[in-house]
């Protein structure tokens, strides 16, 4: 596969398991294309062309010729300057690394992260929150994330990749979509009655089992293991943490338990106020599961993988 084919595959699999459905995604892309056609020449020149076919602003080829043939990749949850140096060191030792893939976005994929958060509006709606309410409570949070990203030095890892001439890409929301779909299907099929049943279900999954050994396994942070789950929702996609105001609306919509990667203290307090059980499955373990589901699609094409930066590599195959 070449770099462009890997990028296209990431977008394709992300769309295939997107909670909103492929039809809704295509409608959004078509709307973006229509808006693009309405722009003047200068605005079109500044427009990011990837948006015409890729609904995930946090997933991008950051550096490298799209036609580059890829045989071996270095993959990590976070790719910073140190990981780029690892790739270069491996090259010095004779292990050819054709591409570095980060899960968490870097470069313009990080600067664009807030744009992905609009999908949370529709996910809230799918879980019973009126769409006007969902858009209202998310608007403030999206702007907050955008402002928080403004002072960040987005291009440190990218600049290092350029110096060593190693292609670099980020695959964020597609992997998060994969882990969300995987876990929601597994939980729905098992129909757990109590919170402890969800915990045990998670521990059956190799990434979470290993995370337990690393002292970063699943934990209940709101509620208790003995409580009944009610409706269980896996909340692991949409860029980053959403609005803390959403918990009231989720509770009113009948959500009893949330399974998340991570949760800030202010969000935790709001969940507690609204009596929603919260299970933190584990950030890095969850990201590893999502990335593994994507990486397995690459290994079936003959691509070799070296993992780094927290990735708990588990091979499942097709």
Residue 301 has pLDDT above 90, yes or no: yes
Q: CA 56 → CA 175, 190, 281, distances in Å?
A: 11, 31, 24
Look at residue 318 in the predicted model and tell me its pLDDT.
Answer: 57
Domain boundaries, the chain: 3-172+286-308, 178-283
> CATH homologous superfamily for 178-283?
NIF3 (NGG1p interacting factor 3)-like (3.40.1390.30)
Look at residue 272 in the predicted model and tell me its pLDDT.
Answer: 98
Asked: is 3-172+286-308 a CATH 3.40.50.2300 domain? The reply is: no
Q: What is the mean pLDDT of residues 241-255?
A: 96
How does pLDDT run across 178-228, given as a tens digit for each residue?
A: 999 999 999 999 999 999 999 999 999 999 999 999 999 999 999 999 999
29 token code pair: 């892309």
Element counts in the chain: helices (H) and strands (E) = 15, 9
Look at residue 317 in the predicted model and tell me its pLDDT.
Answer: 64
Which 8-state DSSP code applies to residue 21?
-
Portion of the chain with pLDDT greater than 70, in percent: 99
For the beta sheet containing 255-260, the strands, ordered from the edge strand earlier in sequence to the opposite edge, are: 219-222, 277-280, 255-260, 231-235
How does pLDDT run across 59-100, given as a tens digit for each residue?
A: 999 999 999 999 999 999 999 999 999 999 999 999 999 999
How does pLDDT run across 22-45, given as a tens digit for each residue?
A: 999 999 999 999 999 999 999 999
Distance CA 144, CA 241 (A): 11
Same fold for the domain at 3-172+286-308 and the one at 178-283? yes
Look at residue 292 in the predicted model and tell me its pLDDT.
Answer: 98
Beta bridge partners of 72: 304
> Closest Cα partner for 142 from 166, 120, 175?
120
How does pLDDT run across 268-300, given as a tens digit for each residue?
A: 999 999 999 999 999 999 999 999 999 999 999
Distance CA 181, CA 282 (A): 16
């Amino acid at each position: 596969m070449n770099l462009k084919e890997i990028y296209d595959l990431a977008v394709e699999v992300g769309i295939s398991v997107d909670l909103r459905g492929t039809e809704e995604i295509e409608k959004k892309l078509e709307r973006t294309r229509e808006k693009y056609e309405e722009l003047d020449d200068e605005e079109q020149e500044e427009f990011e062309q990837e948006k015409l076919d890729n609904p995930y602003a946090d997933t991008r080829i950051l550096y490298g010729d799209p036609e580059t043939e890829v045989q071996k990749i270095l993959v990590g949850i976070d790719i910073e300057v140190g990981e780029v140096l690892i790739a270069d060191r491996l090259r010095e030792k004779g292990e050819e690394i054709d591409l570095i893939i980060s899960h968490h976005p870097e470069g313009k994929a990080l600067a664009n992260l807030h744009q992905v958060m609009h999908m949370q509006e529709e996910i809230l709606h799918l879980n019973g929150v009126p769409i006007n309410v969902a858009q209202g409570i998310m608007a403030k949070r999206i702007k907050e994330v955008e402002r928080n990203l403004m002072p960040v030095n987005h291009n440190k890892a990218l600049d290092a990749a350029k110096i060593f001439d190693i292609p670099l890409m980020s695959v964020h929301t597609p992997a998060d979509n994969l882990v969300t779909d995987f876990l929601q299907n597994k939980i729905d099929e098992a129909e757990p009655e109590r919170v402890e049943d969800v915990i045990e279900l998670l521990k059956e999954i190799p990434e979470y089992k290993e995370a337990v050994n690393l002292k970063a396994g699943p934990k209940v942070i709101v509620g208790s293991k003995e409580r009944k789950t009610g409706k269980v929702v896996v909340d692991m996609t949409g860029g980053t943490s959403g609005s803390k105001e959403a918990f009231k609306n989720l509770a009113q919509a009948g959500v009893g338990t949330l399974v998340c990667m991570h949760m800030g203290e202010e969000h935790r307090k709001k969940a507690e106020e609204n009596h929603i059980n919260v299970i933190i499955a584990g950030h890095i373990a969850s990201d590893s599961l999502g990335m593994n589901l994507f990486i397995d699609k690459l290994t079936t094409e003959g691509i070799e993988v070296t993992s780094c930066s927290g990735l708990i590599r588990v091979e499942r195959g097709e």
